Structure 1
Amino acid sequence: MSQITDDCFAFGGPLMRADEALAIIVERTPAVTSIESLGLSEAQGFVLSSDVRARSSSPPHDNAAVDGYALLGADLRTDGETVLTVRGRVAAGHPEAAELQPGDAARIFTGAPMPRGADTVVMQEDVAVTGDRLTIPPGLQPGANRRRKGEDIESGKALLGAGTRMGPAELALAAAGGLDRVLVHHRPRVAVLSTGDEIAPVGGGLNPGQVYDANAPLLLGLLRRIGIDASHHGIVADDLSATIAALEDASEADLVITSGGASTGDADHVRAAVQHLGAVHLWRLAVKPGRPLAFGHVRGTAFVGLPGNPVAVMACFLMFVRPLIDRLEGAVPVPLRRWPVISGFDMKSKPDRLEWLRGTLHERDGALVAERYPRQGSGIIHSLTESDGLIEVPEQVTAIRQGDRLGFISFREALS
């Protein structure tokens, strides 16, 4: 873990790299300890609290991979056609009682259990049938088109590990292994606070110098998009005592998120309030947008103080809050995918700072080209609604030219 010093909290002090900050957030965020048992129909999106082992094999028996005819591989001739006698019919869910003898075949359908003695299936379109006589051309290999018992899942073997998030494929795997319930972590409860005398609730009037609270709907929407129970605890005035009281009340949740008030102005009281109630582990990052970001704990509850501008809130949520929530849920945070794109623009960039630009994608000559949204201010909410995602400019880059290779983070994928 990076060493945290008082210099990190001093105005004008060193800025922390994004990767260092993320490492601290992940290391200092334990999973919510309470667990519950859920049926598979309810478990979508939850994270397993323990390993899941199969109760049965899948498939539970050798079965046919195609519609055709089951037979003994030893009957296949290598020097010409094979002629067999069709005896019996096997459909899925109706096992054949009789055992195939040498020279016999049985009509069989996809998923049906193999008759006793049979080990090979020939596709129906590859054969000729006259009465009960089946003619198979040369070339079929013994064992063809047969699914073996347990080739997908072996009874007693681990199917899914603790920390796995249950998606549709994971639910199917658990069901195929004979499980109808799984143990999962409770999903964290998140309290959202807006701060600032200039912030007014939507639906009322605006006093001179005020703006409507766009961050609360943004954060609540982001949290609910990923299945998290979130509640808004209102707008907190620029007052230290009021901020302390609001944070203490919100700390009944598993995570407290504030927007605004985490900078160094005389009216910014969030950091001082958090230190009064707990600890600030990091503050001020070498990123744009989002430099005045704080992470700590209040009364033992994880806390994130986001900047006041909506664009910075969006970017910092994706980069720092989403991994923190993964940790609270007991999951291993998965890095956001950076799609390789070609720059469609020129610009200069400040060194030693990770920057995220809002942008759109289009295809040119088989390559994805990223175009920067023309207005990059952190308060331009249109840049979020009219962009496909974030173009990432690494710390060491000081200039971008058309044709340069960059990484692109898709909003749609990041919030899926």
Structure 2
Amino acid sequence: MSYCGHPGLMPIEQALNAILTEVQPVTKIIEVALIHCLGKVVAQDIVSFVDVPPADNSAMDGYCLAIADLEKTVDGVLPVSQRIPAGAVPEPLTSGTAARIFTGAEIPEGADVVVMQENCSEHDGKVLLPPVLALRDNIRDQGQDILKGSVVVSKGQRLRPQELGLLASVGVGSVPVYKPLKVALLSTGDELIEPGEPARPSTIFNSNRYTLRGLLQALHFEIVDLGVVADTFEATEKALIKASNADCIISSGGVSVGEEDHVKVAIEKLGRLNLWKLAIKPGKPFAFGDVKGTPFLALPGNPVAAFATFLLLCRPYLLTKQGVGNITTPTFTLPANFSRKKAGMRQEYLRANAEVVDGKMMVNTYPNQSSGVLSSTCWGNGLVVAPIGQTIEHGQEVIFMSYSDLLY
């Protein structure tokens, strides 16, 4: 079958749809202490059993009073009847008086306004107040942030630091979450050595292991690191069988048509292969299938290709499998601070940097877009999408995907 004028290659949109239709989301739910919930996915709606704030409170340090009492005075002076710090339970406000109050303190019964201290003058137990006040000024209403019975965090939501704080604010001490996926990670290639080992002729340091581990850790998955698998069919088959005990398998390298690439053959023996050539650049050699029923995603060996295909395909697949409700990655249109005269036969994801140029946000691309130039991923802050068959002129609006969204 031919796609986009390039025989045998599948568009990324079709490939992503193909793998997402086969996702079987995790169903096991565990209760986790809130302090350990960063990055976890909520398994059910979390409802607040309290109002936040739990009572009307003061938004300022100052004085609270009843406006009607101030209007009865001739000189705008009221005696101060009590002092209310945050955390104290106030007495009802004595008629005809004001109370000294501090930020976050509960408003006493009978008060309907707070005047900030900068607009008041206290002397000998009395406070001079401004003549004109607005009803309920500087008062935070009970429940204005969160109402009792409302959903504070929805099922399928990943917990960021701000959600942790929100849950803490309503008294939630533990959260039902989906059990984190266990992802088996392996690399193939006899040429690979570990950082710290002496460099030898015809060897390269295994950067993909550390890139992919970092990406998986950023998504808060558990990792089963199987290291480097030797370039033999037997070693590949053995490693894949061991990896099949995880929830998902990710490999880098070994999905091309070379004689020493054994992953494709091993998958076809142990399970099935859905696709393995995509109309994207970098990242054409990509495989998806299963090993003894365990989902398998095989990334290219080239460092940038492995990085890009993880972000574009593995990430949405894994997040969906983890139970995340919304996996859409925001995109932005920015004017290009570059030109691209040659139209590509595959959809390209260019390493890019969005920055302010002469007071205007624009995006530039790294000069060398080779799939082996890993430094290009560190130079910028996102990817520019270059559609199939299209050139890009300077100043033209292009689609930009930020790493801050892709790496979360």
Separation of aligned partners in 2, 1:357 and 1:200: 28
Contact map agreement 1:79 1:138 (CA 8 A) in 2: no
1:155 CA drift (Å): 2.4
2:209 to 216, 225, 245: 216
1:372 to 365, 374, 386: 365
Contact map agreement 1:8 1:15 (CA 8 A) in 2: yes
Contact map agreement 1:250 1:256 (CA 8 A) in 2: yes
Q: Which piece of structure 1 moves more, 257-266 or 193-202?
A: 193-202
SS of 1:358's partner is strand
1:54 CA drift (Å): 1.4
SS of 1:233's partner is strand
1:77 CA drift (Å): 3.8
Percent sequence identity is 39
SS of 2:329's partner is coil
Residues 230/268 of structure 1: CA separation in 2 closer, same or farther (3 Å cut): same
Residues 362/150 of structure 1: CA separation in 2 closer, same or farther (3 Å cut): closer
Unaligned 5+ residue runs, structure 1? 1-6
Unaligned 5+ residue runs, structure 2? none
Contact map agreement 2:355 2:363 (CA 8 A) in 1: yes
| Structure 2 residue aligned with 1:299 | 292
Residues 348/102 of structure 1: CA separation in 2 closer, same or farther (3 Å cut): same
1:165 to 145, 158, 171: 158
The answer to whether residue 280 in structure 2 is matched with residue 287 in structure 1 is: yes
Q: Which piece of structure 1 moves more, 330-339 or 37-46?
A: 330-339
SS of 1:106's partner is strand
TM-score, normalisation: structure 1: 0.88
**Matched ranges for 1:51-130 at <5 A:** 51-75=45-69, 77=71, 82-97=76-91, 99-130=92-123
| Structure 2 residue aligned with 1:269 | 262
The answer to whether residue 401 in structure 2 is matched with residue 409 in structure 1 is: yes
Residues 78/31 of structure 1: CA separation in 2 closer, same or farther (3 Å cut): farther
1:388 CA drift (Å): 3.2
SS of 1:252's partner is coil
2:179 to 173, 186, 189: 186
- Alpha-carbon displacement from aligned partner over 1:134-185 (angstroms, at most 9, x marks no partner): 3332432111111122221222322111111111111111111111111111
- Alpha-carbon displacement from aligned partner over 1:310-366 (angstroms, at most 9, x marks no partner): 110011111111222212322134333334433222223435632111233442121
Contact map agreement 2:241 2:291 (CA 8 A) in 1: yes
Residues 13/236 of structure 1: CA separation in 2 closer, same or farther (3 Å cut): farther
| Structure 2 residue aligned with 1:43 | 37
Residues 352/332 of structure 1: CA separation in 2 closer, same or farther (3 Å cut): farther
| Structure 2 residue aligned with 1:319 | 312
Contact map agreement 1:85 1:134 (CA 8 A) in 2: yes
2:238 to 245, 249, 254: 245
1:227 CA drift (Å): 2.9
TM-score, normalisation: structure 2: 0.90
Separation of aligned partners in 2, 1:141 and 1:32: 54
**Matched ranges for 1:344-383 at <5 A:** 344-350=337-343, 353-383=346-376
SS of 1:400's partner is coil
Give the paired residue count. Answer: 406
Residues 204/39 of structure 1: CA separation in 2 closer, same or farther (3 Å cut): closer
Separation of aligned partners in 2, 1:285 and 1:76: 76
Contact map agreement 1:80 1:137 (CA 8 A) in 2: no
Cα root mean square deviation, aligned: 2.7
| Structure 2 residue aligned with 1:4 | none
